[in-house]
Structure 1
């Protein structure tokens, strides 16, 4: 996707107007830090070697160094379990990443962490002009448990607010991390957690019919950090994924039974989910609702 940055404020090189030359620094200083950072990353820098012969154009060489990223992704909830994996995967693929989350920058070490712009904030009160400037995609990992009211607000309203903000700002793509329904009975799916997620899904698909992405993973495993401690969910998830994948042909007839997927739906590695998101960011033909198996297929494409 092409960068959304406009160069209308940059004066023409070699302009004879002193006022034009002075206007760019003053305009640059008036921009916010995040805007200046994005602008500087999109400007092509040139260094000129001094010519030995005054009128010989061949003796003047130009060394051009471009520092331009084609994708700029905003990850909502980027410091969480899933969000941090997405940030890490995106950075590894050369994507510029901005994270918005209540906790801001993670406290644990990691070289990739320094390559992410960490912004503490809440989607209900954030300055979207600052967050979405120059973005080519928004990824939301927002979700959680609590009372019925809390789950409706976190899983539904918070994501709906984010989708509408992205749409109004002209962001081309929105990617939402939702949840597999596990073939649960309707009375369970009517709880705040699932209804909130499904309302958010509907908003994504409505506002982004040709570029919105909804990923529906089941149990997500990996090394999860909680209050400074690392919980190795992969010790459970990885063997379960291998076993369920191996016996998939035998368990398919049982998939129509109510709540059967609580036991039969294969877990998803958090790194695979992150790579599926990267695929969604970079592939314009990747949109719609994606199941567990489709998430793994998308991740495999990026691995290759």
Structure 2
């Protein structure tokens, strides 16, 4: 009988991260979630405020991804580490919550073509700066920078930082939730920063098996708005197939078949368990992995 796998999911209290935790618990893995707030707000990610039964098998830990001293001890003995963090909107998160900043200003910054150039310093140097700031108990300037969430920080730098610490801890497998390319409703930097993270992690930490998941739009009945978008995307996918893929060049992932969030989570855990899976995992492979995971439950 094989030993129980130990998985650490960063962002495990989120929409997809919580479902990755659920899928790992179903395989009787030892599961830890790390996030700023610890336990999930269940009503924001499911259709009930009551914690599901599987959640009692997860260790819900608090930790700031940019304060590695808070979470590096948790990496000891882990088989897999998953980065399931990211932002769709750039904003000063405390400013938005307090009403001092409008989400519209976040959208303006996200689509600012100069923003990427301003944040284009060497990501590895940025990670070193974060680690040094953490070791020196973090200056006021450091804290202000962390309040201003950007694609470069959340999609790229946090993944590199986590991969670096995971490699030092001897973790064998690093999973990164990236994204399918070409979403027209998001700034190009949303995807380019994720691709940069994939490339740097693969190049700098070859001792780990890097698995880079590229899901399309994900939906679940607990988020009603996603159901409507998924229906439109499914229709677009069917029309795109009938037109020989001509719509794909214009509408990007809006004509890529959407996937249920639970299916993506099942695919992630299936891939982490299968040591032959590595590198980018595109939508068709996610579907195949999810189907394989489902078949295992039928045995």
Q: 1:218 aligns with which of 203, 209, 216?
A: 216
Whole-angstrom distance in 2 between the partners of 1:113 and 1:284: 26
Which residue of 1 is the match for residue 83 of structure 2?
140
Which residue of 2 is the match for residue 250 of structure 1?
242
Call closer, same or farther: CA 1:252–1:290 in 2, change over 3 Å.
farther
Would the aligned equivalents of 2:36 and 2:62 in 1 still touch at CA under 8 Å?
yes
Call closer, same or farther: CA 1:233–1:89 in 2, change over 3 Å.
farther
Whole-angstrom distance in 2 between the partners of 1:297 and 1:220: 16
Structure 1 residue 235 corresponds to structure 2 residue 222: no
Alignment of 1:83-162 (within 5 A): 83-108=17-42, 109-127=51-69, 128-144=71-87, 145-146=89-90, 147=109, 148=115, 150-162=150-162
How far residue 218 of structure 1 moved from its aligned partner, in angstroms, is 1.7
TM-score (norm 2): 0.69
Which has more radius of gyration?
Answer: 1
Structure 1 residue 282 corresponds to structure 2 residue 225: no
Structure 1 residue 204 corresponds to structure 2 residue 201: yes
How far residue 208 of structure 1 moved from its aligned partner, in angstroms, is 3.6
Unaligned regions of 5+ residues in structure 1, if any? Answer: 1-65, 224-229
How far residue 160 of structure 1 moved from its aligned partner, in angstroms, is 0.8
Whole-angstrom distance in 2 between the partners of 1:183 and 1:77: 22
TM-score (norm 1): 0.68
Would the aligned equivalents of 2:167 and 2:208 in 1 still touch at CA under 8 Å?
no
Q: 1:268 aligns with which of 254, 259, 273?
A: 259
Give the secondary-structure state (helix, strand or coil) at the position aligned to 1:170.
coil
Call closer, same or farther: CA 1:83–1:163 in 2, change over 3 Å.
same
Q: Give deviations 1:46-95, integer Å, cap 9, x for gaps.
A: xxxxxxxxxxxxxxxxxxxx9x8521110000001110111111111211
Whole-angstrom distance in 1 between the partners of 2:259 and 2:161: 27
CA RMSD of aligned residues (A): 2.6
- How many residues are paired up? 228
Which residue of 2 is the match for residue 195 of structure 1?
192
Specify which structure has the bigger relative contact order, considering alpha-carbon pairs within 8 angstroms and separated by 6 or more residues. Answer: 2
Q: Which structure has the highest helix share of the two?
A: 2
Whole-angstrom distance in 1 between the partners of 2:232 and 2:288: 18
Which residue of 2 is the match for residue 15 of structure 1?
none
Would the aligned equivalents of 1:100 and 1:119 in 2 still touch at CA under 8 Å?
yes
Whole-angstrom distance in 2 between the partners of 1:232 and 1:92: 26
Give the secondary-structure state (helix, strand or coil) at the position aligned to 2:13.
coil
Whole-angstrom distance in 1 between the partners of 2:248 and 2:229: 23
Give the secondary-structure state (helix, strand or coil) at the position aligned to 1:260.
helix
Structure 1 residue 81 corresponds to structure 2 residue 81: no
How far residue 172 of structure 1 moved from its aligned partner, in angstroms, is 0.3
Whole-angstrom distance in 2 between the partners of 1:88 and 1:174: 18
Would the aligned equivalents of 1:237 and 1:269 in 2 still touch at CA under 8 Å?
no
